[in-house]
Amino acid sequence: MKLPLGTLEPMPGAATHCPYCALQCGMDLRGDGDLVHVAPRATGDNPPGLCQKGWTAAELLTSNERLTTPTIDGEPTTWERALAHITQRIQQIQHQHGPDAVAILGGGGLTNEKAYALGKFARVVLGTKNIDYNGRFCMSSAAAAGIKAFGLDRGLPFPMADIASAEAILLVGSNVAETMPPFVHHLSTMQSNGGALIVVDPRRTPTAKRATLHLQLTPGTDLALAQGLLHLAIVEGYVDRDYIGARTEGFAEVHPIAMAYWPERVERITGVPVSQQRKAIRILHDAGNALVLTARGAEQHAKGVDTVSAFVNLALALGLPGTEGNRYGCLTGQGNGQGGREHGQKADQLPGYRKLDDPKAREHVAKVWGVDPADLPMPGVSAYELLDALGQPNGPRALLVFGTNPVVSAPRAKHVEERLKSLDLLVVADLVQSETAAIADVVLPTAQWAEEEGTTTNLEGRVIRRRRLRPPPPKVRTDLEILAGLAESLGKGDKISADPRRTFEELGRASAGGIADYAGISYERLDRDGGVFWPCPTKDHPGTPRMFHDGFATPNGRARFVPVEYRPAVEDVDSTYPVYLTTGRVLAHYQSGAQTRRIPSLRRAAPDPFVELHPQLAGRHGIEDGDEVRVVSRRGEATAPARITDTIRTDTAFMPFHWSGAGRANTLTNPALDPTSKMPEFKVCAVRLEKVAP
């Protein structure tokens, strides 16, 4: 069954971007009755190209699985009743338990306008400190390490074109061939110009197969590898003393620590042979122009921040960051993973990447919002801490969810599901009946990407326009309309606008003078120029494609070496749980799978969860390819068929996290958090394998 789209006003076409990952590939959409045609479009440094998720993204616009009416307790209702119900419950709960009893969980896929409105809605309409978002689970460790070293966090502080012109790249914990396929174009160009690619991953992924050198380390040991490479750089005389003296501080503290990571010790910890360590550092040194890039494999650990700091230290010692073409960067993940982390849906943050506990920032933003700075709440807790506190004594009693599906994607998901069920009120705004929407009291159907205007900020910090092909179906509203409607019924209708353009203009004013300054960016300018890199403080400012040229964003303009020490995974293997489990992604599915599992061709391409095992590990358990395997951790058990391949280490199992039910990987994962970023340890925990009797 198709939606009755005949009632919709057809539109000729829209030049927009893919709804999924941070590469934000350009798309031309053309409406044709019930169908929407997708064609790739060159934008910025991206040549025309889409992965299979992008090609099929528009199918969800007309899917019969999309939500078309609000529901209360599963029963269809009107918007008036749904909003009145939520308002009354929020007022009751806040009256009884205080303003912080209502919490919000946002997402890095939301446009800048929505992320901004959500943060403002929390602080000004609800007056709650309890808001955070799924970016905590994504690039928060790289963000924190970037701020420590450089004074600010922009995933790639240079345009993507610099990747193609690099002479060597150290790619740590990233499988771009599956997670950003068109990005591989830049790597291929680099390699065909003679550049070398070094990939660090416990699995020989499609990305690692392209590499000049693959370092197949033990999960959770990247920090030791980075220290070892720095050690070798020092003893081989590869460090750039001039650069260190002119542009950095703190090397003297890092130097003695690195000296304790001699190659044989690093081989014992990481499993990476001494010869490969030597080869890697030689490649990086010999290249006149090298890049160090990290992604989730290195970052999603309870020591994720220190791990990234260790790689930044290495890049600094080699004299890379801030020189033309030579840099460190983090590959941001979600569609608006960059912009979504700048404008206030983070627990400790105000728009423009300002700090909520900074009196000057409070004063500036309060003025834009027309409120008393003293009335703005102080920082709340991080996403997992928030989920863990739901329904507990003194914890939130109500949660509003926009753009995330934590029942599938949060660590220790069974516990998280129980916490969500214990709430007095769970409201989920979504396009589809996600696993989290399925347990909500109120579900609000929201517009999809091709049905609304907005902006996102891609992985290079380039602000780009998302354009509407046509309006949403009759009983579906945009997130901004939902927030504006709730603000109205909560008596603060003047605070939230349903209009994206007005919201963006206000965001510009609120961000003015901040780190992520959007004040000089307008829809008109984005339409004219195709995209603008932040910071862009005034309308005549050209934007900032390359950062740190004249100095870092630290008080004295120098980049900081951060002394860090290796420590093992929070949960190391032992006799009861003898196997490492790591988790990640496959090409055909996006995140919790809520969207891509509903697209027939993607479901056919990757129908089911699986447990990837090396033949030796499988053999020790009597497991053959396709056998059902039970994976048991201290948090629970999951079952899925074995996929046997010699591309994975013999001590490690891998599961993608895109599925719910019996094969939900996050039933198993460890919610141990990084002390600084509060990133959970998604990428390593200890498990036991059992063959399920047929």
Ligand X SMILES: Nc1nc2c(c(=O)[nH]1)N[C@H]1C(S)=C(S)[C@@H](COP(=O)(O)OP(=O)(O)OC[C@H]3O[C@@H](n4cnc5c(=O)[nH]c(N)nc54)[C@H](O)[C@@H]3O)O[C@H]1N2
The answer to whether residues 257 and 309 touch, using CB atoms and an 8 Å cutoff, is no
Report the alpha-carbon distance of residue 265 to residue 85 in Å, rounded. Answer: 61
Query: Per the structure block, which two tokens stand in for 357?
Result: 């506990």
Residue placing its CB nearer to ligand X in the complex, 314 or 665 = 665
- Site residues for ligand X, window 235-294 (CB under 6 A)? none
639 binds, among ligand SF4, Mo ion, ligand X, none (CB under 5 to 8 A by kind): none
The answer to whether residues 479 and 486 touch, using CB atoms and an 8 Å cutoff, is no
107 is an interface residue for Mo ion by CB under 5 A: no
595 binds, among Mo ion, ligand X, ligand SF4, none (CB under 5 to 8 A by kind): ligand X
54 binds, among ligand SF4, Mo ion, ligand X, none (CB under 5 to 8 A by kind): ligand SF4
Query: Per the structure block, which two tokens stand in for 544?
Result: 């900032």
**Residues forming the site for ligand SF4 (CB under 6 A):** 18, 20-21, 23-25, 50-51, 53-54, 180-182
Give residue number: closest CB to ligand X: 333
297 binds, among ligand X, ligand SF4, Mo ion, none (CB under 5 to 8 A by kind): ligand X
Among candidates 240, 297, 231, which has minimal Cα distance to 265? 231
Backbone angles phi, psi at 589, to 5 degrees: -115, 150
Handedness of CA 562, 567, 568, 570 (dihedral sign): negative
Residue placing its CB nearer to ligand SF4 in the complex, 23 or 443 = 23
When binding is defined by CB under 6 A, the residue of 138, 280, 366, 381 that contacts ligand X is 138
Cα 669-673-675 angle, rounded to 5 deg? 165
The distance of closest approach from Cβ of residue 297 to ligand X in the complex, given in angstroms and rounded to an integer, is: 2
298 is an interface residue for ligand X by CB under 6 A: yes
Residue placing its CB nearer to ligand SF4 in the complex, 17 or 136 = 17
Report the alpha-carbon distance of residue 196 to residue 168 in Å, rounded. Answer: 5
Residue placing its CB nearer to ligand SF4 in the complex, 54 or 663 = 54
333 is an interface residue for Mo ion by CB under 5 A: yes
Residue placing its CB nearer to ligand X in the complex, 443 or 536 = 443
334 is an interface residue for ligand X by CB under 6 A: yes
When binding is defined by CB under 6 A, the residue of 71, 141, 179, 191 that contacts ligand X is 179
Upper half-sphere CA count for residue 64 (Cβ side, 13 Å): 3
Report the alpha-carbon distance of residue 154 to residue 536 in Å, rounded. Answer: 13
Interface map 562-601 toward ligand X (x if CB under 6 A): --------------------xxxx-x-xxxx-xx------
Report the alpha-carbon distance of residue 338 to residue 347 in Å, rounded. Answer: 16
The distance of closest approach from Cβ of residue 343 to ligand X in the complex, given in angstroms and rounded to an integer, is: 15
Query: Per the structure block, which two tokens stand in for 617?
Result: 């590990």
CA-only gyration radius of the chain, Å: 24
When binding is defined by CB under 6 A, the residue of 284, 320, 653, 684 that contacts ligand X is 684
The distance of closest approach from Cβ of residue 314 to ligand X in the complex, given in angstroms and rounded to an integer, is: 14
543 binds, among ligand SF4, Mo ion, ligand X, none (CB under 5 to 8 A by kind): none
The distance of closest approach from Cβ of residue 180 to ligand SF4 in the complex, given in angstroms and rounded to an integer, is: 5
Query: Per the structure block, which two tokens stand in for 318?
Result: 């080699």
Residue placing its CB nearer to Mo ion in the complex, 138 or 171 = 138
404 is an interface residue for ligand X by CB under 6 A: yes
Residue placing its CB nearer to ligand X in the complex, 201 or 506 = 201
Residue placing its CB nearer to ligand X in the complex, 110 or 284 = 110
| Helix%, strand%, coil% for the chain, nearest 5 | 35, 20, 45
When binding is defined by CB under 6 A, the residue of 295, 423, 613, 686 that contacts ligand X is 295
Task: Name the pairing type of β-strands 354-355 and 349-350.
Answer: antiparallel
197 is an interface residue for ligand X by CB under 6 A: no
134 is an interface residue for ligand X by CB under 6 A: yes
Neighbours of 404 (CB within 10 A): 28
The distance of closest approach from Cβ of residue 348 to ligand X in the complex, given in angstroms and rounded to an integer, is: 19
The answer to whether residues 167 and 289 touch, using CB atoms and an 8 Å cutoff, is yes
The distance of closest approach from Cβ of residue 453 to ligand SF4 in the complex, given in angstroms and rounded to an integer, is: 19
The answer to whether residues 283 and 203 touch, using CB atoms and an 8 Å cutoff, is no
The answer to whether residues 562 and 148 touch, using CB atoms and an 8 Å cutoff, is yes
Among candidates 128, 69, 16, 11, which has minimal Cα distance to 386? 128
Cα 354 to Cα 201, 331, 347, 509: the distances in Å are: 34, 22, 11, 13
477 is an interface residue for ligand X by CB under 6 A: no
The answer to whether residues 577 and 608 touch, using CB atoms and an 8 Å cutoff, is no
The distance of closest approach from Cβ of residue 125 to Mo ion in the complex, given in angstroms and rounded to an integer, is: 28
Collapsing DSSP states into helix, strand and coil, what is residue 6? helix
Among candidates 187, 150, 171, which has minimal Cα distance to 225? 171
The distance of closest approach from Cβ of residue 587 to ligand SF4 in the complex, given in angstroms and rounded to an integer, is: 9
The distance of closest approach from Cβ of residue 419 to ligand SF4 in the complex, given in angstroms and rounded to an integer, is: 30
Query: Per the structure block, which two tokens stand in for 60?
Result: 């969800």
Residue placing its CB nearer to ligand X in the complex, 279 or 546 = 279
Task: Name the pairing type of β-strands 680-681 and 670-673.
Answer: antiparallel
Residue placing its CB nearer to ligand SF4 in the complex, 53 or 247 = 53
The distance of closest approach from Cβ of residue 108 to Mo ion in the complex, given in angstroms and rounded to an integer, is: 7
The arrangement of strands across the sheet holding 398-402 comes to 75-76, 71-72, 442-445, 425-430, 398-402, 102-106, 131-133
- Only one residue has tokens 């326009």, namely 465
Residue placing its CB nearer to Mo ion in the complex, 108 or 472 = 108
Give contact residues for Mo ion (rule: CB under 5 A).
138, 333
Give contact residues for ligand X (rule: CB under 6 A).
21, 107-110, 134, 137-138, 172-176, 178-180, 200-203, 205, 219-220, 222, 295-298, 300, 333-334, 402-405, 408-409, 429-432, 434, 446, 479, 582-585, 587, 589-592, 594-595, 654, 657, 665-666, 669, 682-684
